[in-house]
Amino acid sequence: MMSEITSYSKVREYCANYGWAMMHRVFHYRHVFGEPSIKNGWLIYASDRSIVVVGYPLSPLNAQIPCGVADIAIWAMSELKIRPQTIVYWGTHAPKIDFIPGYQLKSAAKRPQFYQNDILSIDADATKILYERRDIRRSFREGYRSIITYGLIEGIGDLANRFISEKKGQLEVDDFWYIDALDKVISDVDSVIIGATTTHLQGAIVLSVAPPFPVYLYGFFPRGSKWASTFLYFNMIKYCVDMGFDRIDLGYSPSDSLRSYKSKWGAVHGLGVPWEIIFEKRL
C-alpha cells in the first residue's frame, strides 16, 4: 500500500521538514504543472497536460518502498483519470526506466551535478554585521529606496519581462515559469515583495513568508540597476531578522557564479546529481 499526502499545505510542510525538496519549486510548480501530492516519498505534480515526478526522494523511510517512475505515473493516471501528453521524472536517484503502456521514451539523461537548496542561517546581529561590508554600504549610495509590500506591486511584471529578455541565449526552462506563474504565485502564497526603487522599480525579490521559514521565490535585477541585488539581499535579510526568522531558503543555484554569490552571504549548499527522463504519449 502506498503512503499518500494530497493536501497542498501538508505537502509544503512535509517538504520543509525534510528539507530535501526545493521549496521555491513547490510554490510555482503548482501553477505550471498542477496540484502536488506525495506518494512514497516522491513529489508528484499532475494535470491534464503532464505528470511530473520529482524523486529526491523526500523521505529516506518512504524511499525504502520499491516504486519506479512507471508505478507512480500509472497510479496517477488511474487515480486522477487523466492521460497527459508528457510524463517527466526529475531526481537525484537513477530511476527504473520501465515500460508505460501507451507511452514511448523520448529521452533519458544524467545532467551535470547541481546544487539543491541554498539555506542561509541568520541571527539577530546579522544585519549589523553585514552592513560593515563595503559592497553593501556602496549599494546604499546608489540612491535606492526600499519598499516592502504584500501582493502585487506596480511595475513588477514589466521588470520581470525585461530581466528575462536580457538573458537571451542563457535562458533556462525556469525562466519561462517565472512569467507564467508570477501573478498566480504572488496571489496564492503568503508573500512579500521587497523592491529597490528610484523614480521607478529597479529590482525586486519575491519572498514567501509562509511557515516554517521564508523561501526566496523570484529575483529580478535587470541591467542598469547597479548594486540592486546587493541592496535587496541585505534588505531581505533585515526583513527576516526583524520578523524573527532564523533561516531563509534561497532556492537552488544552477551556476558557479550564483553559488559563489550566495556563499558570500553565508548560504550553505546541498549537492545533488539529477536525472531527467521524459515519456511522450504515442500518437
**Tens-digit pLDDT profile for residues 12-33:** 777 766 655 556 667 767 777 8
Q: How far apart, in whole angstroms, are the C-alpha atoms of residue 116 and residue 120?
A: 13
H-helix or E-strand spanning residue 238 = helix 228-242
pLDDT bucket at 84, cuts 50 / 70 / 90: very high
Instruction: Give the residue-averaged pLDDT of 247-256.
Output: 79
Q: Say whether 234 sits in a helix, a strand or coil.
A: helix
Instruction: Give the residue-averaged pLDDT of 133-142.
Output: 92
% of the chain beyond a pLDDT of 70: 75
Q: In this model, does residue 60 exceed pLDDT 60? A: no
Instruction: Give the residue-averaged pLDDT of 102-107.
Output: 91
The pLDDT of residue 14 is 76
pLDDT bucket at 177, cuts 50 / 70 / 90: low
The pLDDT of residue 173 is 44
Rounded to a whole number of angstroms, the distance between the first and last alpha carbons of the chain is: 33
Instruction: Report which of residues 58 and 72 the model is more confident about.
Output: 72
Q: Do residues 205 and 193 touch, judged by C-beta distance below 8 A? A: yes
H-helix or E-strand spanning residue 91 = strand 86-91
Please name the amino acid found at residue 74. I
Contacting residues for 202 by C-beta, under 8 A, at least 6 apart: 144, 195, 196, 222, 224, 225, 228
Burial (CB count within 10 angstroms: exposed 0-12, middle 13-18, buried 19+), residue 123: exposed
The pLDDT of residue 114 is 60
Instruction: Report which of residues 59 and 35 the model is more confident about.
Output: 35
Q: Say whether 39 sits in a helix, a strand or coil.
A: strand
Q: In this model, does residue 64 exceed pLDDT 60? A: no
Q: How far apart, in whole angstroms, are the C-alpha atoms of residue 213 and residue 120?
A: 11
The C-alpha angle 72, 75, 76, rounded to 5 degrees, equals: 85
Q: In this model, does residue 2 exceed pLDDT 50? A: no
**Average pLDDT of the chain to the nearest whole number:** 78
H-helix or E-strand spanning residue 121 = strand 114-121
Peptide bond into 95 cis (omega under 30): no
Instruction: Give the residue-averaged pLDDT of 194-212.
Output: 84
Please name the amino acid found at residue 45. Y
Q: Cell 519575491: give the residue.
A: 206
Describe the strand order of the beta sheet including 191-197 as a list of residue ranges: 145-150, 191-197, 201-208, 215-220, 247-249, 114-121, 268-272
pLDDT bucket at 1, cuts 50 / 70 / 90: very low
Q: In this model, does residue 51 exceed pLDDT 80? A: yes
Q: How far apart, in whole angstroms, are the C-alpha atoms of residue 10 and residue 4?
A: 11
Per mean pLDDT, which range of 18-27, 189-198, 204-213, 273-282 is the poorest? 18-27
Identity of the highest mean pLDDT range in 85-99, 126-140, 175-189, 248-262: 126-140
Instruction: Report which of residues 197 and 159 the model is more confident about.
Output: 197
Instruction: Give the residue-averaged pLDDT of 101-108.
Output: 90
Instruction: Give the residue-averaged pLDDT of 206-231.
Output: 84
Copy the grid coordinates of residue 37. Answer: 501530492
Name the DSSP class of 50.
E
